[in-house]
């Protein structure tokens, strides 16, 4: 079994573990070599794939429904969209903040939910980060996060996919975006795993909307330490809107928070994996 398991985030619904591995494994091997000089073999890296759990069996070819502002649900989805909007406004001068006059962001403004969502989608469509996303893809992303956090069949199957890839030789789990939530909860469920090092990249684990719904639930404002992990490194790029909260140590304690630059693609999984800092963090768990 692989010594390092990578858990992807959203946006890989039409892929698979072997297909993703063609890009993910070489990227991580490059990062480890550049960051530490350690050379990994092909079989040292595996990808835990769960993207298809968001589709009903046999329906992936239908693509993403033509969702728009009318399809975003009140509560979790609307709150997550507003969090992304606020994060984008904090790093991109082209994005108007949601609390500015005329942006229609909050219920107290007297606007319908769909009007507030429309403002958010319009603002994000003009951002550097979400500029290439269509409305339907942004809504699709919101619904994936909400479904993982709220629907047992989804989170159970996603965590099971991680379990399938963990073997007696696995020492490091690297997890990106929503995958960091999946991996964190899987590690908490399995303290008996031989995994010693957890590396999160572009993680939203610090966002209150996510943090307060984690399993196990946080106690007195502190999240549980995952399984038998001895080192947890969290890497975030400036401008990574999905991460929102870039430091996890205040939430979980003991996390080594670091920043790195991914250029014009701050949330890119491959750019995170090829980074020297990521490579060094992975190598520490293998030495």
Residue spans of the domains in the chain: they are: 4-56+152-285, 76-149
Checking if the pLDDT of 101 tops 80, the result is no
pLDDT at 254 (0 to 100): 96
Provide CATH code, domain 4-56+152-285. Answer: 3.40.50.1820
Question: Residue 246 has which token pair?
Answer: 């870039």
Residue 141, number of CB atoms within 10 A of its CB: 23
- Cα 253-259-263 angle, rounded to 5 deg: 150
pLDDT at 155 over 90: yes
Output the pLDDT for position 62: 52
Residue 27: name the closest of 235, 264, 269, 221 by CA.
269
Question: What confidence tier does 37 reach under pLDDT thresholds 50, 70, 90?
Answer: very high
Give the span between the Cα atoms of 166 and 177, in whole angstroms. Answer: 19
Report the distance separating Cα 235 and Cα 256, nearest Å: 8
Residue 61 pLDDT: 47
3-state DSSP call for residue 42? helix
Q: Tell me the mean pLDDT in the region 223-252.
A: 95
What's the pLDDT score for residue 17?
Answer: 86
Reported pTM: 0.92
| pLDDT of res. 147 | 94
Q: For the chain, how long is the longest CA-to-CA vector? A: 59
Q: DSSP 3-state assignment of 229? A: coil
Contact (CB, 8 A) for 97 and 89:
yes
Residue 230: the pLDDT is 97
181 band by pLDDT with thresholds 50, 70 and 90: very high
């Amino acid at each position: 079994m692989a010594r390092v398991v990578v858990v992807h985030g959203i946006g890989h619904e039409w892929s698979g573990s072997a297909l993703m591995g063609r890009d993910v494994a070489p990227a991580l091997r490059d990062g480890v070599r550049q960051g530490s000089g350690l050379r990994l073999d092909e079989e040292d890296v595996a990808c835990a794939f769960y993207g298809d759990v968001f589709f009903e069996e046999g329906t992936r070819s239908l693509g993403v429904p033509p969702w728009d502002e009318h399809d975003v649900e009140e509560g979790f989805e609307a709150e997550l969209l507003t969090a992304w909007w606020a994060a984008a406004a904090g790093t991109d001068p082209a994005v108007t903040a949601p609390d500015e006059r005329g942006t229609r962001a909050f219920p107290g403004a007297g606007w319908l939910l769909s009007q507030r969502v429309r403002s958010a989608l319009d603002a994000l469509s003009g951002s550097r980060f979400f500029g290439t996303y269509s409305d339907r893809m942004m809504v699709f992303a919101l619904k994936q996060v909400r479904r993982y956090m709220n629907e047992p069949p989804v989170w159970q199957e996603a965590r099971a996919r991680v379990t399938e890839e963990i073997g007696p030789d696995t020492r490091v789990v690297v997890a990106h975006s929503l995958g960091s939530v999946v991996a964190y909860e899987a590690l908490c469920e399995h303290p008996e795993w031989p995994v010693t090092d957890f590396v999160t990249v572009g993680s939203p684990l610090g966002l209150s909307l996510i943090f307060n719904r984690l399993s196990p639930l946080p106690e007195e404002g502190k999240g549980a330490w995952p399984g038998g992990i001895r080192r947890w490194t969290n890497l975030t790029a400036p401008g990574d809107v999905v991460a929102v909260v870039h430091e996890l140590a205040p939430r979980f304690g003991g996390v080594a928070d670091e920043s790195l630059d991914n250029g014009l693609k701050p949330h890119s999984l491959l750019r995170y994996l090829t980074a020297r800092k990521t490579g060094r963090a992975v190598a520490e768990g293998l030495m």
